[in-house]
Amino acid sequence: MAHTREEKLAALSRVLDVLERLRVECRWDREQTTESRTTTIEEAHELSDAILAGDSEEIKKELGDLLLHIVFYSQIAQEEERYDLADVAHALCDKLIFRHPHVYGDTQAD
């Protein structure tokens, strides 16, 4: 089922709202640091396993787990005034545009 762009943005906004609240109201989440979030690689392996198994429901769950890590790291960095999720997203866009001059520039690709 495809959601509208507005629904997707609302869902991501909800993730940010939930995590921001947890960082304030949950002692465990508040105490997390970039260094204490050590299961990112495990989550990536679990996603890989789900992809290889072709299990859509598990893939969706594991993608959510990885998204949590991305948002969590970004939230911690924001609190430390280093960068935030918008900076991460802009860096990704810049990289994708740079790697695709045949789409965003004058280069022709075969």
E-state strands within the chain: none
| Cα 23 from Cα 30, distance rounded (Å) | 4
Helix %, strand %, coil % for the chain, to 5? 75, 0, 25
Residues 6+ apart with CB under 8 A from 44: 66
Give residue 31's pLDDT: 92
Residue 24 has pLDDT above 90, yes or no: yes
Asked if residue 36 has pLDDT above 90, the reply is: no
Q: Return the axis-axis angle of helices 56-79 and 5-25, rounded to nearest 10°.
A: 60
What pLDDT is stored for residue 108 in this prediction?
A: 83
d(CA 106, CA 26): 51
pLDDT value of position 41: 93
* pLDDT tens, position by position, 44-95: 999 999 999 999 999 999 999 999 999 999 999 999 999 999 999 999 999 9
Q: What is the average pLDDT value for the chain, to the nearest integer?
A: 95
